[in-house]
């Protein structure tokens, strides 16, 4: 039988076998769900995929670690550290800066002593002193003090400036951070807003009370035996210069019994607070001192403040820019234990009519009604002693001098025979022990018509001299009694000059 086609060589696959083999190869090329990983295995073997996934995972881990560290540090800070913040408006702010300045100076002196005694058992103290850094950021504080003779003394003080400082107090390290805000200012004074933050270990938190107690004691000691003078600055009171030495009450010579009467009344008022409150009476007292210049009005108030251990807040009603609202506000924020002195009180009455100076200034801005409301209005402060002074009592309205606004009115006039004798004894008592020159001086003043005779009679009561003029005469002739007697005639000329 003949074959249908050409004969195949042995082992040659048929077309069907080829097609079947191609199908098997295609199936084997497909991913197999086998136990060796499949797609994950291929992805894990891809270097680009593993690199990107690894970086993303590392970034997430670092972010979580950073967040954890921040929370951990905050928790640790809350558990281990304690902060105290002082702002510039608080009374303790200047106390602390002054205390820190003095304390750093004492530490510096202590470091020198410890260095000298390092070989005598003080090595640990010497080491601690070395580990405590000193102040690196300093500010200079300048104060000008004007003396009675017109001389101006300038005083410079280095205080801790803005920045971070470290001090050691009772073996506890304290971080001091003084921050000055350049964009934030006090709307009342215009000064940059400042804060001081003290940070130490929570276990040492008790030292803050000791620190501020010590700072207050230093501030009180620097004020001891002195009278602080406050002036208005915007809508607040600021201390004017350094506190002044208290003026003895005996140094002010008023007419017989006048000084004692005022002092007794003030002390009785200070001891009667419960009496006022029980009866619903506003606890405040007003005094009016009037008379010609140089009769001792301001001097007596300064001496009275020293006698009572009070300070003085001075406000001139003729000051430019002083309005009714500002006056009322200042009289409600008076510093503690402070006598208020309103000078030239008659200026408020001159504002009843419009006055325009050459520069366009239209008189004082305080009105008569504004002054009355500030003295005893609904919003007026209590626990207040206020003194009003004027050289022109005739300009004052009866509504001002009624009780409740002015409770005591005292005239301090020209020098009397009693005052002239007392002033003479103060200046020449050690030289004129038998009083011969004093009698000659008094007779000379009586002859000139400046004082009354021994019986209280005076030829012309319109003539006289002030205690300030007498004091000036005695100052010019220190230790020269005859010169003072001879120069008494000049007092008459000074009277005409004042008029």
112 falls in which pLDDT band (50, 70, 90)? low
- Ranges assigned E (strand) in 92-207: 138-146, 152-160, 163-169, 172-185, 192-201
Please provide residue 146's backbone torsions phi and psi, each rounded to the nearest 5 degrees.
-100, 120
Max mean pLDDT among 7-11, 309-313, 319-323, 452-456 falls in 309-313
Residue 373 placed within a domain: yes
pLDDT-based confidence at residue 128 (cuts at 50, 70, 90): low
Q: How many CB atoms lie within 10 A of CB 400?
A: 20
3-state secondary structure of 372: helix
- Kindly state whether residues 402 and 433 are assigned to the same domain: no
Q: Tell me the per-residue pLDDT of 37-71, one tens digit each, with 9 for 90 and over.
A: 565 565 556 565 565 656 676 677 777 777 777 76
Residues 170 and 256 in one domain: no
Query: Are both 153 and 254 inside the same structural domain?
Result: no
pLDDT at 372 over 90: no
Distance of alpha carbon 469 from alpha carbon 483, whole angstroms: 15
Residue 141: phi, psi to the nearest 5?
Answer: -120, 120
Cα angle: 165, vertex 107, 126; to 5 degrees: 105
- Residue-wise over 155-167: b if at least 16 C-beta within 10 A, else e? eeeebbebeebeb
CA atoms within 13 A on the CB side of 144: 4
331-353 pLDDT, tens digit each: 888 888 999 999 888 876 665 54
Q: pLDDT category, 17, cuts 50, 70, 90?
A: low
Instruction: Answer whether 332's CB lies under 8 Å from 386's CB.
Output: no
Tokens of 25: 């190869």
pLDDT given at position 361? 47
Total Cβ atoms within 10 A of residue 415: 27
Residue at a domain's end among 385, 411, 437? 411
Cα(289)–Cα(397) distance, integer angstroms? 15
- The span from the CA of 205 to the CA of 80, in Å, is 10
Q: State the maximum Cα–Cα separation within the chain, in Å, rounded to a whole number.
A: 187
Pair of tokens at residue 301: 């108030």
CB atoms within 10 A of CB 94: 16
> What pLDDT, in 10s, does the model give residues 245-257?
899 999 999 999 9
Q: Per the domain annotation, does 44 fall within a domain?
A: no
Q: Give the residue with greater pLDDT, 436 vs 15.
A: 436
- The arithmetic mean of pLDDT across residues 466-492, rounded, is 90
Mean of per-residue pLDDT scores for the chain: 78
Ramachandran bin of 5, using left for φ above 0, alpha for ψ from -120 to 50, beta for the remaining angles: beta
442 and 405 in one domain? Answer: no
Q: Considering the domain boundaries, does residue 21 fall inside one?
A: no
For residues 220 and 311, the model is more confident at 311
CB 351 within 8 A of CB 368: yes
pLDDT of residue 22: 64
Predicted pLDDT of residue 13:
66
Q: What is the mean pLDDT of residues 269-277?
A: 92
What are the tens digits of pLDDT across the range 276-330?
999 988 899 999 999 988 899 999 999 999 999 999 999 888 777 788 888 888 9
Q: Are strands 163-169 and 172-185 parallel, antiparallel or unpaired?
A: antiparallel
Cα–Cα dist 260/251, whole Å? 13
* pLDDT mean over 227-245: 85
Please tell me the distance from the alpha carbon of residue 197 to that of residue 327, in angstroms, as a whole number. Answer: 34
Q: Is the pLDDT of residue 36 over 70?
A: no
| DSSP β-bridge partners for residue 197 | 85, 177
Last-in-domain residue among 342, 377, 411? 411
pLDDT at residue number 107: 65
The answer to whether residues 406 and 421 belong to one domain is no
Question: Mean pLDDT over residues 105-109, rounded?
Answer: 67
70 in a structural domain: no
CA distance 419 to 251: 12
Domain holding 379, by residue range, is 236-352+362-411
Q: Is-contact 457 417, C-beta < 8 A?
A: no
* 303 Rama class: left (phi>0) / alpha (psi -120 to 50) / beta: alpha
Query: What is the rounded average pLDDT of the residues 368-393?
Result: 83
Average pLDDT value for residue range 132-153 = 62
Q: What is the pLDDT of residue 37?
A: 53
Residue 311, in any domain of the structure: yes
302 and 245, same structural domain? yes
Residues paired with 284 in a beta bridge: 384
Angle at 484 between CA 479 and CA 488, to 5 degrees: 165
Residue 272 has pLDDT above 60, yes or no: yes
Per-residue pLDDT band for 186 (boundaries 50, 70, 90) equals low
Mean pLDDT across 127-155: 61
**Sheet harboring 81-87: ordered strands across?**
81-87, 192-201, 172-185, 163-169
Question: Residue 12: its pLDDT value, please?
Answer: 64
User: What confidence tier does 369 reach under pLDDT thresholds 50, 70, 90?
Assistant: confident
- Model confidence at 460: pLDDT above 80: no
Q: Which residue has the tokens 């580990």?
A: 131
Express as a percent the part of the chain with pLDDT over 90: 25
Q: Are residues 87 and 116 in the same domain?
A: yes
Which among 461, 422, 427 is positioned nearest to 258, based on CA atoms? 422
> Residue 488 has which token pair?
């008494």
Closest CA to 469 of 270, 293, 314: 293
146 and 258 fall within a common domain: no
Helix (H, G, I), strand (E, B) or coil at 214: helix
Look at residue 13 and tell me if it is in a domain. Answer: no
Q: From CA 12, how far away is CA 292, in angstroms rounded?
A: 146
pTM (global) more than 0.75: no
Same-domain check for residues 307 and 248:
yes
From residue 467, how far is each of 76, 186, 292, 412, 453 by CA, in Å?
71, 45, 11, 10, 17
| Phi-psi group of 37: left, alpha or beta (phi > 0 → left; psi -120 to 50 → alpha; rest → beta) | left
Most confident residue range from 136-140, 237-241, 460-464: 237-241
Residue 31 — φ and ψ, nearest 5°? -60, 135
189: CB partners within 8 A, 6+ apart = 233, 234, 236
Number of domains in the chain: 3
Q: How confident is the model at residue 76 (pLDDT cuts 50, 70, 90)?
A: low
Examine the fold and report which residue of 168, 189, 224 is the final residue of a domain before the chain moves on.
224
Q: Helix (H, G, I), strand (E, B), or coil: what is residue 490?
A: helix
Structural tokens at position 494: 């000074």
CATH of the domain at 378: 3.40.50.300
Give CA torsion, residues 435, 437, 442, 446, to 10 deg: 140
145 and 113 belong to one structural domain: yes
> Are 396 and 427 in a shared domain?
no
pLDDT of residue 136: 65
What backbone phi and psi angles, to 5 degrees, belong to 262? -70, -45
Rounded distance between C-alpha atoms, residue 27 and residue 70, angstroms? 56
Least confident of 142-151, 187-196, 426-435, 466-475: 142-151
In a shared domain, residues 170 and 107:
yes
């Amino acid at each position: 039988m003949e074959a249908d086609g050409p004969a195949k060589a042995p082992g040659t696959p048929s077309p069907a076998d080829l097609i079947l083999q191609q199908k098997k190869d295609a199936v084997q090329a497909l991913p197999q769900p086998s136990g060796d990983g499949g797609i994950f295995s291929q992805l894990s073997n891809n270097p680009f995929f593993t690199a990107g996934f690894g970086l993303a995972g590392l970034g997430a881990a670092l972010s979580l670690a950073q967040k954890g560290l921040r929370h951990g540090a905050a928790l640790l800070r809350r558990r281990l550290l304690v902060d105290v913040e002082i702002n510039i408006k608080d009374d303790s702010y200047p106390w602390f800066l002054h205390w820190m300045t003095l304390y750093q100076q004492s530490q510096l002196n202590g470091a020198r002593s410890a260095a000298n005694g390092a070989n005598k058992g003080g090595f640990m103290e010497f080491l601690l002193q070395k580990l405590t850094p000193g102040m690196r950021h300093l500010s200079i504080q300048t104060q000008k003090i004007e003396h009675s003779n017109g001389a101006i003394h300038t005083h410079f003080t280095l205080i801790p400036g803005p920045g971070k400082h470290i001090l050691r107090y009772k073996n506890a390290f304290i971080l001091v951070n003084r921050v000055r805000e350049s964009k934030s200012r006090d709307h009342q004074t215009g000064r940059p807003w400042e804060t001081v933050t003290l940070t130490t270990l929570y276990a040492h938190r008790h030292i803050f009370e000791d620190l501020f107690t010590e700072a207050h004691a230093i501030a009180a000691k620097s004020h001891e035996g002195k009278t602080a003078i406050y002036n208005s600055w915007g809508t607040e009171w600021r201390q004017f210069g350094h506190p002044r030495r208290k003026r003895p009450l005996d140094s002010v010579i008023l007419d017989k019994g006048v000084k004692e009467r005022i002092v007794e009344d003030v002390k009785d008022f200070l001891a009667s607070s419960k009496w006022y409150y029980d009866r619903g009476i506003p606890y405040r007292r007003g005094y009016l001192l009037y008379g010609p210049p140089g009769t001792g009005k301001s001097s007596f108030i300064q001496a009275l403040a020293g006698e009572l251990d009070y300070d003085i807040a001075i406000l001139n009603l003729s000051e430019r820019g002083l309005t009714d609202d500002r006056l009322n506000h200042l009289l409600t924020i008076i510093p503690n234990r402070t006598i208020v002195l309103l000078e030239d009180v008659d200026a408020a009455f001159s504002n009843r009519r419009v006055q325009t100076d050459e520069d366009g200034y239209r008189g004082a801005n305080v009105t008569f009604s504004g002054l009355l409301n500030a003295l005893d209005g609904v919003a007026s402060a209590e626990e207040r002693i206020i003194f009003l002074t004027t050289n022109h009592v005739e300009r004052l309205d009866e509504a001002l001098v009624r009780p409740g606004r002015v409770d005591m009115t005292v005239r301090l006039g020209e020098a009397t025979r009693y005052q002239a004798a007392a002033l003479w004894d103060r200046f020449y008592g050690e030289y004129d022990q038998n009083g011969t020159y004093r009698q000659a001086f008094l007779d000379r003043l009586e002859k000139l018509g400046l004082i009354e005779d021994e019986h209280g009679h005076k030829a012309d009561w319109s003539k006289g001299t002030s205690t300030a003029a007498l004091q000036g005469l005695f100052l010019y002739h220190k230790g020269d009694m005859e010169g003072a007697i001879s120069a008494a005639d000049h007092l008459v000329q000074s009277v005409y000059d004042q008029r």
